[in-house]
Copies of this chain bind each other. A is one copy, B any other.
């Protein structure tokens, strides 16, 4: 693959902003409308499919949990060793390059929360160990200079199963917009309802994350 890494034509799965989402949606439409196999084997396969789709979504959820935690090793655990990521800066390949990229990204973030939405998972029909997960995202990020921004875009993932684990093999991230946010410190006022216990999130959560 390395020798072709600079040829945009090979990235058919990542071509066009919205077409990959529309194409997947119509594939799913056909599949959902197909007759179901009610034999014991068929039932087992259908259950397995639901579990696989859920497991693939779990890897995506882990990616965001680890990203927001700025835990580089944990982020990399979501990727195959030979994974590539195409973003606005280039095509990153392998754990070493991805680590540098996520170190750069997370080092600029005092707080970041990434919402993955509209998740759709499709297993390849001809290969039980490959699948696609597409999603949209919307995030809020606070920099170390206390600048708050809202941003958003999309994800395309090609997933591969290795030793029973679903990992990201190829990933396209579009970063479509960023907007300045007018941050308001939270003032609870003096009419807060009384509580039995005095422990608050301030006692449990690291100071840097509780902006308000």
Of residues 1 through 49 on chain A, the ones whose CB sits less than 8 Å from some CB of chain B are 2, 5-8, 11, 14-19, 21-22, 24-26, 28-29, 32-36, 38, 43-44, 46-48
The answer to whether A195 touches B21 (Cβ under 8 A) is no
CB distance from A132 to the nearest CB of B (A): 13
Partner of A7, one of B25, B199, B212: B199
The answer to whether A100 touches B193 (Cβ under 8 A) is yes
Report the copy number of this chain in the oligomer: 3
Partner of A93, one of B120, B163, B196: B196
**Across the two chains, which residue of chain B brings its CB closest to A38?**
B44
Contacts of A28 in B (CB 8 A): 58, 61-62
CB distance from A179 to the nearest CB of B (A): 4
Contacts of A182 in B (CB 8 A): 179-180
The answer to whether A19 touches B69 (Cβ under 8 A) is yes
The answer to whether A25 touches B62 (Cβ under 8 A) is yes
- Given the known inter-chain contacts A29-B62, A153-B113, A204-B8, please indicate yes or no for A195 contacting B120, CB distance below 8 A: no
- Given the known inter-chain contacts A69-B22, A93-B195, A200-B87, please indicate yes or no for A212 contacting B64, CB distance below 8 A: no
- Given the known inter-chain contacts A92-B196, A104-B192, please indicate yes or no for A65 contacting B211, CB distance below 8 A: no
Apart from the given pairs A36-B51, A115-B117, A179-B182, 12 other A-B contacts in the complex at a CB distance below 8 Å: A17-B210, A18-B71, A22-B62, A24-B65, A26-B62, A29-B165, A32-B55, A88-B210, A92-B196, A94-B196, A175-B212, A178-B184
A selection of 28 A-B contacts at a CB cut-off of 8 Å is A5-B198, A16-B205, A19-B69, A22-B62, A29-B77, A32-B51, A32-B164, A46-B51, A86-B197, A86-B199, A89-B193, A90-B196, A90-B200, A91-B196, A93-B196, A103-B193, A111-B177, A115-B115, A115-B136, A116-B118, A140-B152, A140-B177, A140-B179, A149-B184, A173-B201, A176-B210, A177-B212, A180-B181
Closest 9 CB pairs of A and B: A91-B197, A90-B195, A18-B69, A25-B62, A5-B197, A32-B55, A21-B65, A179-B181, A33-B164
